Chain A
Amino acid sequence: MDHFMRPVPMAKKFITPGVIVLLVLAVNGLVFLAGRFLFGIGSVTHLNNQYPWGIWIGVDVAAGVALAAGGFTTAALGHVMHREEYHAVVRPALLTAMLGYTMVAVAVSIDIGRYYYIWHPLIMWNGSSALFEVGICVMIYMTVLYIEFLPVVTERFMGRVALPGALARLNAPIEWLLGLMDRTLSRTMFLFIIAGVVLSTLHQSSLGTLMVIAGPKMHPLWQTPILPLLFLLSAVSVGFPMVIFESLLAARSFGLKPEMRILGKLGGMMPAILGVYLAFKIGDMFVRETFVYLMHVNTASVLFMTEIILGVVIPLRMFLSPHVLKSPPLLFTAATLVVGGVLMNRVDNFVVAYTPPYSFGSYFPSIGEISVTVGFISILVLLYRAAVIIFPVISLPDRTLSPKSKYSVRG
């Protein structure tokens, strides 16, 4: 190891031309969202009694949860397996997961008809409902993610609390509180990290169980009793590619040198992970003999093949090449393919594969639905940018640290 990495707040301006575009998209989404609250879900979406779930569930919730999987996969690698060299990517992944799950929670509340009853599952339980389990796990996991992020907050403010004027009297108590929090957290953090991994494993798979109950209403190419396993495996496969994707994007946006040493190593693990997912996906297809549906060219078969070839097979082959692992553009392409593949898989499972028995025409998202989804994603990116400017999240090489000195990256 030639240098050590240390997370620092990015010394950049918040507003850029890109940020302004995102702000416009965010406001546009919020305008349509207002319509949903004033006139009901039917006024902005194309949902109906045949198609009760659309892209707000398929993209914002299902894909959102999957794409936030970097949080638990890097936590498992960096902390549970204790591979210190990966600590530099744990924080950005944690931040993505925290913001991602927050967006999921908000997306769920706007999609349900009675958003003010979102707390009902906490006290009204139904142990046989997959959705209940997803809901409870996501709520607890979100709390865990916020706790995991707290050390970043204490690190940022400890020893620097200087409130102005009359509030200055509060400085000492706040410092004391931060110190206490820091000490308690550093002793107990391992509990939360393991809990985070367990909770993720549970709800990532249960998200797959969700559609099992739709039975014959779901296209046989996707409907399988091993859906929970496929969802878990695909969530694990998208974890590192998502980290690579973001890290390279952030490096470009903030003008940093891409951390290719770590990202290349992450990419090097991908063929094995994608291989397992592909094996189960193809194996399931042969066991259930659903390949017969691929003989006809239609939306379902084309999307299914695209999802597998573009989203799994091609990136798998790319990650096998040492040349790709060293080249930022190629590595970015491979990672983007996996991210796109899993996004597509979630949309396929929740929207495309769902074929109700009495449809009066198929579902296609409305302008309002697309606007709200795009708006949410824009807000997510803006919050991410704000967070890495305020908090020490992204690691930069730090030459003041000698290789012998020990320090542990929390969070």
Chain B
Amino acid sequence: MKTTNRRSFLKASTAIGVAVTGLTPAEAHAGPRNILAPGRMGVLVDTTVCIGCRNCEWACKTAHGLETPPLETYEDKTPFDRMRRPDDTALTVVNRYPNAGNPELPYSVKVQCMHCDHPACVSACIVGAISKEENGAVIWDTDKCIGCRYCMVACPFQIPAFEYHKALNPRIMKCDFCAERRKAGQLPACVETCPVEALTYGPREELVRVARERVRRLPDRYVSHVFGEFEVGGTDWLYLAGTDFANLQFPKLAERPAPGVSESIQHGIFAYFVPPVSLYALLGAMMWTARHRGDDDEEK
């Protein structure tokens, strides 16, 4: 190391600088598809209409090739005794909450992926295995996923589920907004099967308008809050309710997109590789001067 002179040091440092900056354009485009299309579709869930028949749970499992007992067994209401969450065996579940105004008519709330407009999972995924599609769906790619479960850490709604009991190729399981069915011109399975039209499928913009209109026309029936209109920067699945959303175990979330701060920090640290390259140059300069000073001392 003693033989290092200024020229060879500068040459090598420049070479590294060039090599690193050469990567920049690729880096800038690297990442999953994350499209926020103006015409993206969504679903409006009216929890005051839902009767808790759980047919959507059956339709979802059938459409996604998951194991399910026959439809008749879903008449059983005992699952409502405890709060359930979507998992690797059920991508959507319906929970029931008491209605203080009318004990005979409890609120039923269908739960699934909200298909955020600025999904934290898409931002977080280490390999870009999750993407936001033009049609609104947030979908997962089995060919990329490494099973790190960072999407589960990131999701503000705690939706992605993992197949913990599979030793090989465990999957991340979550509602895919029936991406395949919709491509074939079909409705999402849950929407198609709902007997009371508690689920309305349509362009998100349109749904927001419809939801606001319902709240305006029936102020006694609804609380004045369309859940998902602004939460975490907007979600494509929207909810109407007859009681405060906190009573239905919806998380209280800010309007800032979920990945917000994290992405700013990340892009700040890596702004076109300027900070790391500058640090490299600074340390190089420090090392060179320190070494040089050392040589002077030894000569004395």
Contacts and interface: CB of A to CB of B under 8 A. Distances in A.
Interface of A: 36-43, 45, 47-50, 52-53, 76, 79-82, 84, 108, 111-114, 117-118, 120-121, 124-133, 135, 186-191, 193-195, 197-198, 201-202, 205-206, 209-217, 225, 228, 354, 356-358, 406, 408, 410
A127 B30 contact: yes
A354 B152 CA distance: 12
B290 A49 contact: no
A interface: dominant SS: helix
Interface string B145-169: 1111110111011101111111101
B266 A130 contact: yes
Contact of B287 (A79, A114, A406): A79
A43 B169 CA distance: 15
Nearest to A41: B164
A45 to B, nearest CB: 8
B12 to A, nearest CB: 6
Interface residues of B, number: 77
Given A113-B170, A133-B266, A190-B4, A197 B32 contact: no
A186 B127 contact: no
B106 interface: no
Contacts of B87: 49
B266 A80 contact: no
A75 to B, nearest CB: 10
Given A47-B164, A49-B152, A113-B170, A129 B146 contact: no
Contacts of B150: 52, 129, 131, 210
A215 B156 CA distance: 8
Interface in B52-93: 83, 85, 87-88
A187 B162 contact: no
A65 B125 CA distance: 21
Contact of A42 (B9, B145, B165, B258): B165
A410 B127 contact: no
Contact of A214 (B27, B85, B154, B252): B154
Interface stretch (B175-183, B215-223, B276-284): B276-284
Contacts of A80: 283, 286-287, 290
Given A49-B160, A128-B266, 13 more contacts: A43-B164, A52-B162, A80-B290, A81-B287, A120-B144, A126-B123, A129-B150, A131-B124, A191-B16, A201-B279, A212-B261, A357-B158, A408-B2
A114 B164 contact: no
Contacts of B279: 198, 201
A191 B83 CA distance: 57
Nearest to A206: B269
B294 A50 contact: no
Contact of B127 (A124, A128, A215, A225): A124
A187 B269 contact: no
Q: Which of A48, A79, A190, A217 has the most C-beta atoms of chain B within 10 angstroms of its own C-beta?
A: A190
A357 B167 CA distance: 28
B267 to A, nearest CB: 7
A38 B3 CA distance: 54
Contact of A194 (B30, B147, B287): B287
Contacts of A53: 149, 153
B196 interface: no
Contacts of A215: 120, 156, 254, 258
A143 B264 CA distance: 29
A410 B290 CA distance: 16
Contacts of B153: 52-53, 210-211, 213-214, 217, 354
Contacts of B152: 49, 52
Given A49-B162, A128-B259, A133-B266, A197 B27 contact: no
Interface of B: 1-4, 8-9, 12-13, 16, 26-28, 30-32, 83, 85, 87-88, 120, 123-129, 144-150, 152-154, 156-158, 160-167, 169-170, 249, 251-254, 258-259, 261-263, 265-267, 269-270, 276, 279-280, 283-284, 286-287, 290-291, 293-294, 298
A57 to B, nearest CB: 9
30 contacts: A36-B167, A37-B167, A49-B162, A50-B85, A80-B287, A81-B286, A82-B293, A112-B148, A113-B162, A114-B147, A114-B170, A121-B146, A125-B30, A126-B128, A127-B31, A127-B267, A131-B148, A133-B266, A187-B4, A191-B12, A191-B16, A209-B262, A214-B154, A217-B156, A217-B158, A225-B261, A228-B265, A357-B251, A358-B83, A406-B298
Q: Which of A113, A117, A189, A213 has the most C-beta atoms of chain B within 10 angstroms of its own C-beta?
A: A213
B165 A43 contact: yes
Contact of B280 (A50, A188, A198): A198
Name the 6 nearest CB pairs between A and B, nearest first: A113-B147, A42-B164, A125-B30, A82-B290, A52-B149, A52-B152
Contacts of A358: 83, 85, 158, 249
Given A128-B123, A197-B283, A202 B266 contact: no
A49 B258 CA distance: 19
A314 B279 CA distance: 33
A52 B294 CA distance: 51
Contacts of A118: 146
A217 B238 CA distance: 21
Q: Which of B145, B161, B164 has the most C-beta atoms of chain A within 10 angstroms of its own C-beta?
A: B164
A40 B1 contact: no
B123 A129 contact: yes
Contacts of B261: 212, 225
Given A212-B265, A408-B1, A112 B147 contact: yes
Contact of B169 (A114, A212, A217): A114
B287 A125 contact: no
Q: Which of A47, A76, A198, A201 has the most C-beta atoms of chain B within 10 angstroms of its own C-beta?
A: A198
A39 B165 contact: yes
A40 B124 contact: no
Nearest to B150: A131
Q: Which of B120, B124, B286 has the most C-beta atoms of chain A within 10 angstroms of its own C-beta?
A: B124
Contact of A121 (B127, B169, B294): B127
A120 B146 contact: yes
A204 B58 CA distance: 46
A217 B254 CA distance: 12
Nearest to B151: A52
Given A52-B149, A191-B12, A39 B167 contact: yes
